[in-house]
Amino acid sequence: MKKTITITAIVCTLFMNAQTKITYPETKKINHVDTYFGENINDPYRWLEDDRSAETGTWVKMQNDVTYRYLATIPLRDQLKSRMENLWNYEKISAPFKEGEYTYYYKNNGLQNQSVLFRKDKNGKEELFLDPNSFSKDGTSSLGGISFSKDGSLVAYEISEGGSDWRKVIVLDTKTKKTIGNPLVDVKFSGIAWYKNEGFYYSSYDKPVGSELSAKTDQHKLYYHKLKAAQKTDKLIFGGDIKRRYVGGSVSDDENYLFISAANSTTGNELYYLDLSKPDSKVVSLINNYENDNDVLDNKGSKIYLVTNFNAPNKRVVTFDLSNPSKENWKDCIAETENVLNPNTGGGSIFASYMRDAVSFIKQFDYDGNLIREVALPGIGTAGGFGGKETETTLYFSFTNYVTPTTIYSYNVQSGESKMYQQPQVDFKFDNYESKQVFYTSKDGTRIPMIITYKKGTPLNGKNPTILYGYGGFNISLTPSFSISNAVWLENGGIYAVANLRGGGEYGKVWHDAGTQLKKQNVFDDFIAAAEYLIQENYTSSDYLAIKGGSNGGLLVGAVMTQRPDLIKVALPAVGVLDMLRYHTFTAGAGWAYDYGTAEQSVEMFEYLKGYSPVHNVKAGIKYPATLVTTGDHDDRVVPAHSFKFAAELQAKQAGENPVMIRIEVNAGHGAGKSVAATIQENVDMQAFTLYNMGIKELN
């Protein structure tokens, strides 16, 4: 790809009306041209990609100043914040899990920025074990992951600072809580897999040249860290020869095998193993292509239980022996069904979690694949958990839906009896609300499910403020779950709708593939059809409809608002992938090519991406919806330059009076580990912006 650069600064100052005139910050344009297959594409805001420059920092501050001044004028903002804080302020306790001599669980007293890890000894005495709120004064550091050794005497935990995917790892003696050795640094996209009490396996990239928040990272490596040893002496196990973007290791429960997954994209992986019982064994290939998703579920000696979508788009569990691992020797343990499978193990059983139209049902199997029972769930919604050690007789699972906060249940593995273990006390009148699943038809005739939640008795008069949420990518399924911020929205007369678009995982690999690469427009068409259904059925109208999504869902919002600006009143793209010609040049973005394709892939792919890329499809003179772009200045997954450039394009070209704002959270990343205080304020600002621009000045 040839590049030519000429520099000419064009100063653009815009004025728009909200209650008062808004003067947007000056965003200069620099003539930067990229050439794709003989076509020149101008990228005037390329300079905003430099997250280390003082100039970009100044632009961020100026944009935030304008945005927060605007938000401060919204009369219902303080009222929303007060209610959201009050509703959020209830005790939250996780399912317990046993490690060694202790039972551990997370607890948040209500408004703590990060949940705290507690434990009880065999006598039931409670003590604080690890408090992530002590990691930083402002709550911007969080617990990024934790792993106990098999006997529970050691623990390694990851710290994320400022929301970054780069982590440091600290090891403790669990009895004394004293640190062992020096912290590991520059660890990214990694689990921690203990081997005995001697050390553990972890993954990372070499530190990139340039900005660690945006520079490309494309060679993932698996290391072994020996306890107390210097990190520089860690042994490279896998990934040093052939580049792979994602490499992970897991140690079998009997500690005889290291299983290694290697991938170049977020879909499809190779599989390898290392026999840890033999001192000089070599890494052995089990699956040497990226055509399918393959995950080791468990093993019984050399007999492997594998979850795969090979010849099974909805997944199945197969078994084989390591002495004869070729696919012709695979045998079904749990065969594929018409519903998507996501299994877990605990208490000597396999728990097969299925989705039927995005709603959970669970079946318990023995290790020979015999059905023991279907697990009785508390209602229609999302169940998760059922994981634990083989020796456990009691497991735990969570249950939630759009009007039921996450509730923890205990489950007796032998009898199948469930009991409520932990029910949160939330100041929300659940019985006043209902969820309804509907099916609508997309542009090409495909039947799409959507769940609509609202206050009982809501009049279908086309005037209800409505948020339509979607994702539609990366085989990710949107299943019913309770949200405190959504509860506030519902209390104020709002409708919340979630569409299960193609590109997601709700109906398996076929559904996912139907929303990838040259079929990506299907996802946008599905979302547009959802909006049209809500309007046609008088749930809402274009004057009261907002669309919302984050990450790949931010792309969804950006594409739909540029393709159908007439359809909606408010757009809320969060941490979005918005420059489709350059997304793969940042951090680990190249790994998303299975879903998106790349601009260098072919002329056809370039033209297709250019045709919907939000940054490249903002047109001068169009009246776009009121837009609040949200991102974090430390987002090193979807770099904030996507959002910066999209906001700059919208501000430069917007016609009419709808405001175009960008809200940039400082010391925040892609979303994981964000403090409770920051999460509340962000949700308050999105709802206040949305209601205000729908003309709603008072709450119910």
**Residue numbers annotated as active site:** 551, 670
> What angle separates helix 603-612 from helix 552-563, to the nearest 10 degrees?
70
From the centroid of its chain, how far is CA 397?
A: 21
3-state helix, strand, coil in the chain (%, to 5): 20, 35, 45
As to burial, measured by CB atoms within 10 angstroms (0-12 exposed, 13-18 middle, 19+ buried), residue 295 is: middle
Q: How big is the chain by its Cα radius of gyration, in Å?
A: 25
Chain center to CA of 390 = 29
Q: At what angle do helices 552-563 and 641-653 cross, to 10 degrees?
A: 10
Locate the DSSP E strands across 72-174: 92-93, 97-99, 102-108, 116-120, 126-130, 141-148, 154-161, 166-173
DSSP notation for 185-231: EEEES---EEETTTEEEEEEEPPPSS-TTTS----EEEEEEETTS-G
Nearest-10 crossing angle of helices 676-693, 484-491: 30
What does the block give as tokens for 585?
């040049």
Picking from 451, 454, 373, 381, the residue whose alpha carbon sits closest to that of residue 418 is: 373
Distance of CA 478 to the CA centre of its chain: 11
Report residue 250: phi and psi, to 5°. -140, 140
User: Which amino acid, 661?
Assistant: M
Largest alpha-carbon pair distance within the chain? 74
H/E element, 260? strand 257-263
In the block, residue with structure tokens 């006043």:
432
DSSP, collapsed to helix, strand or coil, labels residue 100 as coil
* Helices and strands of the chain, counted as H and E runs: 10, 42
Pairing of strands 97-99, 102-108: antiparallel
Rounded Cα gap, residues 82 and 85, in angstroms: 5
348 Cβ contact partners less than 8 Å away, ≥ 6 residues apart: 366, 367, 390, 391, 413
Closest of 59, 34, 63, 30 to residue 47, by C-alpha:
30
3-state secondary structure of 657: coil
DSSP code for 658: -
CB-CB contact of 14 with 652 (8 Å):
yes
Angle between helices 77-88 and 676-693 (to 10 degrees): 140
